[in-house]
Structure 1
Amino acid sequence: MGIYKTTDEKIDRLTNDHISLVSLAYRGNTDSSIQYQQNDTPDGGLSETVQVSPNQTVILYDKNGTVLNPSSDIPSATIAADLKFTTKNISKIETVSIRANSGETLLYRTIIVKANFDKHIKTNIGYIRLLVNVNQLSESLSRSQVIIITTMVSFWLISLFASIYLSNWYQRPIIDAYEKQKNFVENASHELRTPLAILQNRLELLFQRPTATIIDESENISQSLTEVRNMRILTSNLLNLAKRDGGLKVEFSEVDASYFEKIFKNYELLAENSQRHFSSTVTVKGPIKIDESLIRQVLTILFDNAIKYSEPNSKIKIQVDKQGQMLTIKTLDEGFGIADADKRKIFDRFYRVDKARTRQKGGFGLGLSLAKQIIDACGGRIEVQDNQPQGTVFIIKLKV
């Protein structure tokens, strides 16, 4: 085992010097059963190349395996039971667990070697057992294992929760996109289903009266044409939204106040034909940089909504003002207004404040969604507020 590598190397060094092991056995032991005679009686001195420590114990055996030096640390009964002498494991390092005199269980690395002395040394020592206490190493290993396992479990739990969190975080935009696509398809199918059903019913009515003239069926034909126009507008808006989803290509160019004035002259004619009163103010000095076609499209969407959702003889006003680097466009009407709960949703695709009324007016809930996408692409923002005393105000802010 790697943890006992240093201890085993130390054991190998000690077992190469049997005289030092005998000297170690003599320390604290004057048992007369040990016969060891050299020129001088061992005085406890050890070889200069071998260092011993208190956690080392030496047990001496005679040639028959009888213990010659009872240990003060290890009871004789324990030596007889747990440290049975056998020549099968000579020179093999083992790990043994024994009970000490103090009552605690100690862990040792141990080895039995055959005693080998010079011929002039007279002794009854046949075998030497060296024991090195490794409790501290074992406890250190146990603590390390606990720390490693605790750390691994902690990091595993952290990584698990982090993976779940990151997975949900990364999936959120995918799920949102899927839900939007699902709603988009469902709403588009619903919007197309209605004009198709009307067309089918009107055409079936025509077949019920095959001899009728065009004048007789003018209402059915007119209604059919109306639904066809609605479908054309809807499919055109859907295509525009699909293009916008692929990414808007914004092309800025310099314009001045005349750009807005020309657009608003056309709005005056449209408002007059719709029995609305239109007015505009343009406070723009010098050139500004905008995308002409995209901003014109947004203005047309807001103006068209103001016409649709306001009563005849009501007022519609558009204000264009430039302060510093900020261009502000306000569209004010005196229409039905928008509830606070609906203000957060009117820029969603197919969302309509009053579905019955907007269907009657020919709305599909796509215009404001398209307008917001354009303004976002141009680096601006659009918001909606209440007009006083009645109506709605759309505010566009752009850096120019």
Structure 2
Amino acid sequence: MKKIIKKVKSSAIVKNDGKNFLHFFLAFTVIFVALAVIIIQVMQIGMYKATDQNLQDLARNSAFLQDAANNQTGTGSLQSQGAYGPTNSVLFYDADGNSFTPASTDMGPSDFVLSHLKKAVKLNKNAINTIRTISVHNPYGADWHYRYLTTQIVITNNDGSITPAYVQVFSNVDQIQDAMSRAMLVILTTMVAFWLLSVVISLYLANWTLKPILSAYEKQKEFVENASHELRTPLAILQNRLELLFQKPTATIIDESENISESLSEVRNMRLLTTNLLNLARRESGIKIEPEETTAAFFEMIFNSYEMLAENAGKVFTGTLKLEGTINLDQALIKQLLTILFDNALKYTDDDGEISLDVQKNGGNLIFTVADNGEGISNEDKKKIFDRFFRVDKARTRQKGGLGLGLSLAKQIVDAYNGKISVEDNQPEGTKFIIRIRLDNSMVNPAKIFQKL
């Protein structure tokens, strides 16, 4: 049992299942990560847009900056040093990068904020005209969050001289940061939830994509087992017959004619089986329909051949044809299809059996009906009648030379036409096969994975 489990786990299909899951899972992960990054980036740009625009407007307002600089150096008239609105602050630096010293020693609210901004922010001359974000430690509560812009200006002194300087304009974004944090929490929570859901979806898709492969694999496995079984029987008979010949080395051909005849019969069975297997392999690699102009004469010729074969078998054949003008058909495939159904009816009807073939054109469809008055097929067997190697009565079928491959090949031909084949009870007894194909459809159904031999 352990060996079987180990073999299953190491099988190519199980390994491929894991690869499929990994591929789907990685694909979903990349999608969700990329989506989360894009949403957060777009949200940040949108939420900071008004703040950044305000910073740029203040940085371009030379009169405002001159007045703010004069105030910070003690020569201005503004009441609150560095405070320009409830959310804005300004810091100035000289050409050497040293901060201007406030004129007043009274520490008002704005000066308290400015003192902490000075400690947290250093002048970076490489970041001119670049908006950045900074968090400033607040000893009495939550940290402050600012967006700030650094730019270079020229200050006019009281004596008329000009001094180059730098300015940093700050805007408090605590409320925006809180809203951003809540939004990011919602986004990330949602993304993680759907990412975990993608694990389940990946497992489902990996299993779903493997279903047809597993089904085809099982059919191939069953096909090989059935083919081996069918070949084993005639080979065993042939071996026994040949061994009997060796047991009587002095016997003449006439004396052993029965063994020789049976051996030849089994050889013919094996040849028929291998021929049918080869046809199935060729058909499953993709049936190419090659239509040609076909008239009623084509079917009349087939009817004549079937009538002769039925007469030789002591049975009656009736052909009905309702076709006018010319249609396009792959004559080789259609003849093979009808021959399979006729041969099937011929095998399963008793002496004095009756077989009929009806061909009629109905609009854009061509309908074939092959009926017999044989023993019929049970409803349970009708579900499996088109499976390879399936036979209603294996013992009787073997006696009649059937291998259970004909109807499977017939269905492949009908499928190549995107048509439909069905089996019904024929009244009052027997079986009736009905085939419907479209005359304007020459599409070929693709070969199934693992079905090609």
TM-score by length of 2: 0.64
Contact 2:116–2:137 (CA under 8 A) maintained in structure 1: no
**Cα RMSD (Å):** 4.6
Name the CA distance, whole Å, in 2 between partners of 1:348 and 1:251.
Answer: 26
Structure 2: distance between partners of 1:151 and 1:309 = 66
Task: Label 1:23 to 1:327 Cα distance change in 2 as closer, same or farther (>3 A).
Answer: same
Structure 2 vs 1, CA of residues 276 and 99 (structure 1 numbering), >3 Å: closer, same or farther? same
Identity level (%): 49
Aligned to 1:288: 327
Structure 2 distance, partners of 1:140, 1:88, is 24
| Distance (whole Å) between structure 1 residues aligned to residue 230 and residue 191 of structure 2 | 57
- C-alpha distance in 2 between matches for 1:347 and 1:110: 75
Q: 1:171 to 1:301 in 2, by over 3 A?
A: same
2:79 is matched with 44
**Partner of residue 436, structure 2:** 397
Q: Which residue of 1 aligns with 2:314?
A: 275
1:105 aligns with 2:110: no
Counterpart of 1:27 in structure 2 is none
Between the aligned partners of 2:116 and 2:297, the Cα distance in structure 1 is: 112
1:340 aligns with 2:379: yes
Q: Distance in 2 between matches of 1:389 and 1:141?
A: 81
Q: Report the alpha carbon displacement of residue 178 of structure 1 after superposing the two structures with TM.
A: 3.0
Distance 1:277 1:52, change over 3 A: same
Whether 2:362 is the aligned partner of 1:330: answer: no
**1:1-400 equivalence runs, <5 A:** 20=68, 42=77, 44=79, 52-55=84-87, 68-69=106-107, 71=109, 95-98=135-138, 105-108=142-145, 133-150=172-189, 152-153=191-192, 156-157=195-196, 163-400=202-439
Instruction: Give the conservation status (yes or no) of the 8 Å contact 2:55–2:171.
Output: no
d(CA) in 1 for partners of 2:237, 2:377: 29
Q: Distance in 2 between matches of 1:85 and 1:395?
A: 90
SS of the equivalent of 1:138 reads: helix
Give the drift of 1:385: 0.8
Task: Note the C-alpha offset of 1:379.
Answer: 4.6
Aligned residues: 362
Measured in 2, the distance between the counterparts of 1:175 and 1:352 equals: 24
User: What's the TM-score once normalised by structure 1's chain length?
Assistant: 0.71
Distance of 2:147 and 2:108 partners within structure 1: 16
Alignment deviations for residues 279-321 of structure 1 (CA, whole Å, 9 cap, x no partner): 2222333333322222222221111111211222222222222
Name the CA distance, whole Å, in 2 between partners of 1:108 and 1:287.
Answer: 85
Q: 2-side partners of 1:140 and 1:217: how far apart? A: 101
On the 8 A contact 2:375/2:430 being kept in 1, the answer is: yes
Q: Which amino acid in the other structure matches residue 105 of structure 1? A: A
**Greater displacement, 251-260 / 364-373:** 251-260
Which residue of structure 1 aligns with residue 34 of structure 2?
Answer: none
Contact residue 52 and residue 147 of structure 2 kept, 8 A: no
* Matched AA of 2:107: N
Deviates more, 1:251-260 or 1:310-319: 251-260
Counterpart Cα distance in 1 of 2:147 and 2:193: 38
Deviation at 1:325, TM superposition (A): 3.7
Contact 1:96 1:110 in 2 (8 A): no
Structure with more contact order per residue of length (Cα contacts < 8 Å, sep ≥ 6): 2
**8 Å CA contact 1:230, 1:362 repeated in 2:** yes
State the Cα deviation string for residues 87-144 of structure 1 (Å, max 9, x = none).
89876997334365xxx63525599xxxxxx899xxxxxxxxx996442232133134
* Equivalent position amino acid for 1:203 in 2: L
Mean CA deviation greater in 217-226 or 207-216: 207-216
Richer in helix (by share): 2
Q: Is the 8 A contact 2:376 2:425 kept in 1?
A: yes
Question: 1:300 is matched by which residue type in structure 2?
Answer: T
8 A contact 1:108–1:135 mirrored in 2 = yes
1:52 positional shift: 1.3
| Gaps in structure 1 of 5+ consecutive residues | 25-35, 112-117, 121-129
User: Structure 2: which amino acid aligns with 1:54?
Assistant: P
